[in-house]
Amino acid sequence: MMAATRWRTLSNCWFLLVSNMETTIFTSVPQIRMAFVKMPTMESVHNLITKARGEERMTFKGAKISFHALGFDNPSSPYGFYTLLMRLMNFHVTDDGSSLVYIDNISLSESKDLRETLKKIGCVKNFLPLLNKLFIEFESVYDADRLGVWYSLLKKPPGHILHREKTPISSCTSPSPKLPEQALPDSTEAVTWATVPSIKSGIPQGSAAPFWIPLKSSPYLFPTISPWFNIPGRDIGNHSKKLLKVKNFGSNIIMLTGLQESFYTHQNVAQLVWQYFPEPGIQTLYYNIIVLPLQRRAFVFFPDWTACSNFVQDHVSKPISLNGNALSVHFVTEPMSLEFSEEMLYKTAMKLCNARVSEMEALEERLLCVEINEAAVHVTQIVLDVVASIAPFVSFLMLGNRNPKTEPPTCEMAENDSKLVLHSSSDLPDVAMNEEGEKPGVEMDKDMGLCS
């Protein structure tokens, strides 16, 4: 382990720091027997050091230990703790956290196995194991994506928890995934359908990070800088001449990219295209328009080519925007069927997400719609934790909010007789509260009619 020689004279030292981090003890570089302990107050630090220097020296596992108070600014996050450790070892961290992955509750054997896996994933700058935690710093923000994708394709979810220390953000169109094939798990560990998306014509204009990919266990979502989902689109830009060329594909489907991370509704997107439907109604709203907020894009199934081309021509002359945010428009030239049922909508959207597509048998009985009125990633994660505590689910899909003021994740339950008892926001933990001290409204039902 790097810089071990510098610490040799400080073996069996416990460093004390005052911090509001949830974790009580971090053990750094176990080979040299050092620990960092969070203390609630400076007074508690003083009392512990005084006691340790008394007649009865404190021991741990039969070895005498000494305590030292850190003379640095105390960290308030895992990223802060990592930079502190590296600074103590004379290594300067230049990354802002976007290339750093922190893993909690990982066993020694899992850590060793993951170290071997990372040789395939590649581009690891630093691998820093702690007692039951692990920091992995990648060479770039693009390389860190692959670890999250690798976890999302595992057949069996791990027992540990994966966190990217900072959500990556881009102000322009994101680049294609870097070395995507290296994100695939071995065939013995991967789900049967495991693939990485093939992006033949590049990333569509307006596709800017962050994006989110689903995980099978908490925290359920992993942010990425590149889009790791299927993109069946073709740029239109400002070239109306492409209309004639694209007409030959016989597609009436448009993909919109550049949606905001939040602060918009399904109805806001629908209003952009509503006038091009001769008889718009509930069915049009629910099934002709698909909003995928975690991918910051939407799909519109127009009734015919005339309506589709009229929309595009109007966009060319006056580009559309949502809440002042310019959107990009793309033709979908690959076959996509329009179905008017929740289970078929789920299947279509899951294919777009490059995620698991279930067998259709009994799918309707296994789909659970969870409606929440706050489009926030952390609220979605909390709700999924609550669902998982009641009954296991095999996958989930986040859609735009088709009902007013709600955003529904649809969960595919493992069994069709799952008993779900979460009926209101009162069952949510307090950490789900917003700035006003209110919990998001929550409704669950396995009746698809109530979810639509």
Q: What is the DSSP letter of 11?
A: T
DSSP symbols for 294-337: GGTEEEEE-SSHHHHHHHHHHHHHS--EETTEE-EEEEE-S---
- Tell me which residues of the chain have a pLDDT lower than 70: 1-32, 55-56, 71-74, 200, 233-250, 358, 372-376, 402-408, 416-452
pLDDT of residue 449: 38
Residue type, 57: R
E strand segments, 114-271: 124-129, 133-138, 161-164, 211-214, 221-224, 233-235, 253-257
HSE-CB of 171 using CA atoms within 13 angstroms: 0
pLDDT of residue 318: 93
Give the distance from CA 208 to its chain's centroid. 15
pLDDT of residue 8: 37
Specify which residues 442 forms β-bridges with.
372
pLDDT of residue 246: 61
pLDDT of residue 418: 53
Q: Which two tokens stand for residue 420?
A: 């779900």
C-beta of residue 425 within 8 angstroms of C-beta of residue 400:
no
C-beta of residue 312 within 8 angstroms of C-beta of residue 243:
yes
- Rounded to the nearest 5 percent, the helix, strand and coil shares of the chain are 30, 25, 45
Give every CB contact of residue 373 below 8 A, 6+ residues apart in sequence: 401, 405, 406, 407, 440, 441
Q: How many helices (H) and strands (E) in the chain?
A: 12, 23
Tell me whether residue 435 is exposed, middle or buried, using C-beta atoms within 10 angstroms of its C-beta: 0 to 12, 13 to 18, 19 or more. Answer: exposed
E strand or H helix at 273, and its extent?
helix 266-273
3-state secondary structure of 226: coil
Please tell me the distance from the alpha carbon of residue 259 to that of residue 425, in angstroms, as a whole number.
28
Domains and CATH numbers, the chain: 12-74 (no CATH), 96-231 (3.30.70.330), 236-404+416-424 (3.30.70.330)
C-beta of residue 333 within 8 angstroms of C-beta of residue 232:
yes
- Angstrom CA distances, 398 to 32, 110, 195, 221, 377, stand at 46, 30, 20, 11, 10
Token look-up 């994506």 returns 145
Q: What is the DSSP letter of 357?
A: -
3-state secondary structure of 94: coil
Strands 100-104 and 161-164: antiparallel
Q: Which two tokens stand for residue 39?
A: 């203390």
